Structure 1
């Protein structure tokens, strides 16, 4: 679609709580924001969607064009995406389906939106079917974030959930067999690594310096945690390298190495919580901005 047309649809969508006119009137539409492969900037597109098997699905059809749309190439590099659905906005992990699962989901899409069959007929490429997975808050997680301690736990809970995804999928994945888990495993791994990098960057650049000023007694702890972050960066690179060869790595070695890497990452998260939660519990989040000075 022309960029100007997309921009008009996006503006209308946001101004009217997800309702638009024109060719999309009455249809199921969402806005998907990905991160550009080369630019690193957000890129938003309006897309039709289908709900099937409890999943929120989009199809990288590009109206049957011979090449995948740019937003699909973006999410392969950066799986964490932003979804706007009606008046709801949330982060999701974009996981393309493979093999038999892709065929089953595409058939489910066609039952609700048969036009995608016409798009498939006009191109030799297999149209990707992508599930937009919305992480659910597990029991016990604070649903309302009121302090930096809550925010830290929220981030750590998300990271642990992605680790569980990766380990569970590694247990089920058998190289050379049509399990359809290779790409799913890769996407969750990348999501975890991106999330961890973002989390540590935020701590190193903002949270730790602020804590050092307000709690000078934590200076030594914060310095050690910063050193751990650099060590964790190495472990993260090991994880990426391990899963890059998921289709050829011997299954037992994959699981053994993944267990070791996961244990080190979990230990870091546990240690960070033990050291920081007491200090962070008294710091409101979002930060309280001082009001205007009185007369």
Structure 2
């Protein structure tokens, strides 16, 4: 942004950033002072270490239906905190004007990063100045749809059974999407005969970010079931105690595979793509069997429970 101050600048007092956030929310995205007329959004990330939400005002540029933000921090030598946060927790919340929505944050790589950065600098030349001030390559982050391509809700949700089925459908779609991207990448590398370099041996950030987001959503869903949904149903159906113990054991099995996947995703570059591929296959087999079993067991019990719940005490079944 070609303004004398930038809201993501880490030298700006927290109180100033908060005043920008408050004004943004009070006026549906319109902010005065040095940012009057600027394209501004609010990005809420989850702290990489703290796990708490952090909101940052950022300039953005549109490109082919996506929003592009630059982790410039006015050209400082270090990446801003919000960038480290989205690498740890790829699913973010975006406030744009009066709208709020979930997005998947994916840093661009290679030639795509160069093309997108050139597009941004053409629209906002100040970012070129920021790059000139630092030896680090400024990350170019694409804020795209959190939902996998082609995902559709199974229909209007009016019962807890419908909500559970919606979440399961979303989880299956996410896993299919990650697996398809991984297989396409590895197939392209295997089929490469030249000229030019084959795809990098590691897997791209697009795959990493979506896979990590899937693992975190799955963990949230199963934790919510264990802590809220299962005890709530068991209180009315004590004869199903063995069934719920089996479902919890399936959760533990899936969690072990999920933990292995997260370990492989710990670095920005996935160094062992074949191990990830094998882990995704195991996850697909175990999770598909678990979701099928859970639906056969729970959906009949939840058909009469309205969703959303009438009061604040309803058991959460959302994906987070």
Q: Name which of 98, 108, 124 aligns with 1:97.
A: 108
Cα offset for 1:158?
Answer: 2.8
Cα distance between partner residues in 1 of 2:291 and 2:255: 13
For structure 1, the residue ranges without an aligned partner over 5 or more in a row are 291-295
What is the TM-score of this pair, normalised by structure 1?
0.88
Quick one: distance in 1 between partners of 2:152 and 2:48?
A: 36
Name which of structure 1's ranges 183-192 and 131-140 shifts more when overlaid on structure 2. 131-140
Q: Size of the alignment, in residue pairs?
A: 289
Partner residue in 2 for 1:85: 96
Secondary structure in 2 matching 1:131: strand
Q: Give the corresponding residue for 1:20.
A: 31
Question: CA separation in 2, counterparts of 1:99 and 1:139?
Answer: 28
Map 1:16-55 → 2, pairs under 5 A: 16-55=27-66
Is residue 201–residue 271 contact of structure 2 (8 Å, CA) maintained in 1?
no
Equivalent residue, structure 2, for 1:224: 246
Q: Work out which of the residue numbers 255, 261, 264 in structure 1 matches 2:283.
A: 261
- Structure 1 stretch displaced more, 88-97 or 269-278: 269-278
Cα 1:59–1:161 change in 2 (3 A) is: farther
Distance 2:108 2:71 in 1: 12
Q: Equivalent residue of 1:84, what SS? A: strand
Q: Quote the offset at 1:260 in angstroms.
A: 3.0
CA 1:144/1:123 → structure 2, altered by over 3 Å: closer, same or farther? farther
8 Å Cα contact 1:99/1:179 also seen in 2: no
Q: Which residue of 1 aligns with 2:6?
A: none
Q: Distance in 1 between matches of 2:152 and 2:50?
A: 38
Gaps of 5+ in 2: 1-11, 190-197, 313-320
Q: CA deviation at 1:142?
A: 4.1
Say what the alpha-carbon RMSD is for the aligned residues: 2.4
SS of structure 1 residue aligned to 2:177: helix
Which of 191, 196, 203 lines up with 2:218 in the alignment? 196
Which TM-score applies when normalising by structure 2? 0.82
Separation in structure 2 between the aligned mates of residue 5 and residue 283 of structure 1, nearest angstrom: 46
